[in-house]
A and B are shown apart, each in its own frame.
Chain A
Amino acid sequence: MKGYLARHAQVLVATLGQFARHPAATAATILMIGVTIALPTGLYVGLHNLERLSHGWHRGDGLTVYLHRGRSDARALAAIRRLPGVRAVRYTSPQKGLAEFERRSGFGKVLTVLRHNPLPGVVTVSLRGASPARLHTLAATLRRLPDVGHVQSNRLWLERLNATLRLGRRLVMILAVLLGLALVLILGNTTRVAVANRADEIEVIRLVGGTDAFIRRPFLYTGALIGAFGALCAWALITLGLAVLSGPVQRLDTLYASHYGLVGLGGGSALRLVLLCAALGWLGARLAVGRRLARGRA
């Protein structure tokens, strides 16, 4: 067991030494794989951030009603309260809405320039037992009220967003599978070239009694290590990308008085990514070297 570990440690060190002797070629391969992996992983991270954002927006299953300006908000409010299925209403007057907007946006001074308050009165309606069908019916009824300007369903909008996000997730998955395949192929090809370059060495190792496992081992280590380094490279690229985006996002956050921020790849996900890419690299190398060793066996 100790000898077994020692042998593997020896191959690991030799492989790293091999990298150090060809730094440019190794770096190019790692970068190529890093970019390949960064693509689906970056999309995944972006999608994840969007999902977080949409969770923040999930403010119940209500309807938002924008009233006509310059009519009686009180009459409209009373009409809405009388409708069946309405559980509670919350009214935001144009004055209150403006105050809120000034406070949040920091555009206070600019708005004093406007002579009239441009905002309508807003009523947030929550429902008793909000099935999508009831939501639809109520929205239609509300739209027919004379003082109501515009009705917006929070829930339908969210469902549309969620459906889009689901599609996005599926696309990321397809992309990840394709680029995972690309990773296997890239490392398979790199390994094939490396094996061809070392044909003499492989022949001699065989002649003096080296097993196929012994011949394979350095190639497998190379594949797995390049895969792992590629994943680390992708992680670095994504972290860099997030750092570049974090400034604008922070500004958005202050504008909306929110605190979403951006989340990158967590430690656990990064580790899983490294392990997965190491496994794919190993697989690519294994396929390539296995094909080569199957030839010329006595």
Chain B
Amino acid sequence: MIECQHVFKRYPGGNEALSDVSFMLEAGEMAFLTGHSGAGKSTLLKLISLIERPTRGQIIVNNHNLGRLPPRRTPRFRRQIGVVFQDNKLLNDRTVFDNVALPLVVAGVTGDEIRKRVQAALDKVGLLARARSHPLMLSGGEQQRVGIARAIAHRPSLLIADEPTGNLDAAMSDEIIDLFRDFNDHGVTVLIATHDWRHIARCQKRVIELGAGHLVTAA
């Protein structure tokens, strides 16, 4: 599902965020991406979801060689994956329903199909009752769950999450990680960036560790 070969990333004017990173994640797998702050976790996830492009190296996601994908194909590629952002990136002037519907609307899904899929996604994260609320009326954990619902509404085969449990208490974090495990049980490939070793210990899933831009473990 994801294949990185000798990936380098240097931000303009900055130091090297990633150097010579190679690993492979099979379809249906679930893995934690970990490492100290500034290790390059977010950078790697941005390269995989085509928000940034690598300086060197090759990334293949869902059979697309991202380096060969022209910019105009980026939107179509993004619709094949689901991304949960560290800062949610919800639109505060739209309802929870409209936020979750966004990936469907941009993909040209219409009418009843949107309603059905949004309700299914909100049901999955336990927020069906809050569909008409606005994000700012929700707690941090609830907002994070709206972000997850949006990431799965279009039923992607790959789910990527950047610190989805960032500012949540232990119980809430466990709940969210269990949600991802549930998606994985249903065949979705999952990659979660976190520096919370508690989850890693609890889940017994594969761990990919970065240190100062280098791959430490990919076991």
Contact = CB atoms under 8 A, between A and B. Distances in A.
Contacts of A59: none
A210 B74 contact: no
Interface in B147-162: 150
Contacts of A244: none
A200 B90 CA distance: 9
Contact of B52 (A203, A210, A298): A298
A203 B107 CA distance: 16
Interface string B175-205: 0000000000000000000000000000000
A36 to B, nearest CB: 32
Interface in A262-298: 297-298
A76 B111 CA distance: 91
A210 B71 contact: no
Interface in A203-240: 203-212, 214
B85 A207 contact: yes
A18 to B, nearest CB: 12
Contact of B74 (A3, A201, A214, A298): A298
Contacts of B24: none
Interface in B57-71: 71
Interface residues of B, number: 25
Contact of A209 (B52, B53, B72, B106): B106
Given A297-B71, A298-B74, A211 B91 contact: no
A166 interface: no
Nearest to A2: B110
A114 interface: no
A214 B104 CA distance: 12
A78 to B, nearest CB: 89
Given A3-B110, A200-B91, A298-B53, A207 B71 contact: no
Contacts, number: 54
A28 interface: no
Nearest to A200: B91
A207 B78 contact: yes
A7 B74 CA distance: 21
Given A3-B108, A6-B110, A200-B91, A211 B102 contact: no
B150 A298 contact: no
A208 B52 CA distance: 15
Contacts of B51: 207, 298
Contacts of A209: 75-79, 103, 106-107
Interface in A1-24: 3, 6-7
Nearest to A4: B108
Nearest to A208: B103
A206 B75 contact: yes
A205 B75 CA distance: 9
B50 interface: yes
Given A211-B75, A297-B71, A298-B71, A205 B106 contact: yes
A22 to B, nearest CB: 13
A7 to B, nearest CB: 7
A208 B50 CA distance: 11
A259 to B, nearest CB: 58
B132 interface: no
Contact of B106 (A3, A214, A298): A214
Given A200-B91, A209-B78, A7 B108 contact: yes
8 contacts: A204-B89, A204-B102, A207-B51, A208-B103, A210-B102, A211-B75, A297-B71, A298-B52
Q: Which 5 A-B pairs have the closest CB atoms?
A: A209-B78, A210-B106, A209-B79, A208-B103, A211-B75
Interface of A: 3, 6-7, 200-201, 203-212, 214, 297-298
Given A3-B110, A200-B91, 4 more contacts: A204-B91, A211-B106, A298-B53, A298-B71
